[in-house]
Amino acid sequence: MDISSTNTVTEPQQTSKGNIDAAKKIKLQKAVQEFEALFVSYMLKTMRESVQKADTEGESFGGDMFDDMFNVEVAKAISKQGSFGIAESLYKKITGESLQNVPIDTQSLLQLRSSKIRYSKSQNQSSSSNVPTTLNERINRFQSAIDEAAEKHGIDSTLVKAVIAAESAGNPNALSSKRAKGLMQLIDSTAAEMGVENVWDPTDNINGGTKYLKSLLDKFDGDVKLAVASYNAGPERVEKYGDVPPIKETQNYVARVLQLWNAFKEQKGVEHE
């Protein structure tokens, strides 16, 4: 995070509000922006909850989590851009100076933190204290299984990671209200069709989900957008409309997966430089 000014700071700066050195200003800047982000996040959540869901919208394990996570990231972006001015006012009140804007990290999506990770009641449930805190950490635990399944079925491993992120946020014990299970949220019929013997086994689940995703890519001639839409809404609906179905949940899901896919591809490119 670069918040340096055009003048090199060699000594603690003097302000009309007292002695505040550069290090303290960095901490203060973060604190006031996080305060504003918290306020904006609460506002966004309240606004979203006031809108009644359409009957065509379903429920998904990853979807509810990402709604909250998206609110947080939007709130952070708003705060860093000074759109509401709360952080700016607080910072200026304390230091007597204007708050410098900080560029938004394009990889911040992969570092999202959430305290709303839910678990199934299966015997495979792990302690929440052992769950990594970021999306990246949660999914990277299964990198070898993802790479193996992606290579086996001839699919981009970063796309598999994006679907896992959107479906379960990397939780191998995720259980949705529609009884979709595991990392890639397989329903029992799909799991059986894909030859999954133990849906709670991460490797078995990822392999089955990747196999199913590959079948959808083949069905729609490699069109990732339609394959992803089918993963969420079913291929019948995609065939019916000839495009992403006009279902808000599915449209949001497709946008979310494509955004995550780009983020994972960018990350993979950086790692291999």
Per DSSP, the residues of 119-163 read --SSTT---GGGS-SBHHHHHHTTHHHHHHHHHHHT--HHHHHHH
Please choose, from the candidates 150, 165, 143, the residue with its C-alpha nearest in 3D space to the C-alpha of residue 253: 165
Looking at 11, 36, 49, 167, which residue is catalytic? 167
Q: What is the b/e burial string over 242-259, where b = at least 16 CB atoms within 10 angstroms of the residue's CB?
A: eebbebebbebbbebbbe
For residue 248, the surrounding DSSP H or E stretch is helix 248-271
Asked if residue 66 lies in contact with residue 256, where contact means CB atoms within 8 angstroms, the answer is yes
Please choose, from the candidates 30, 166, 59, the residue with its C-alpha nearest in 3D space to the C-alpha of residue 110: 166
Distance in angstroms (rounded) separating the CA atoms of residues 175 and 162:
18
Give 201-204 contacts, CB < 8 A, sequence gap 24+: 202/142, 202/145, 202/172, 203/142, 203/145, 203/148, 203/149
Asked if residue 154 lies in contact with residue 213, where contact means CB atoms within 8 angstroms, the answer is no
**239 carries an active-site annotation:** no
Distance in angstroms (rounded) separating the CA atoms of residues 234 and 166:
16
Residue holding tokens 């709303």? 116
Name the DSSP class of 175: B
Q: Which residues are catalytic?
A: 167
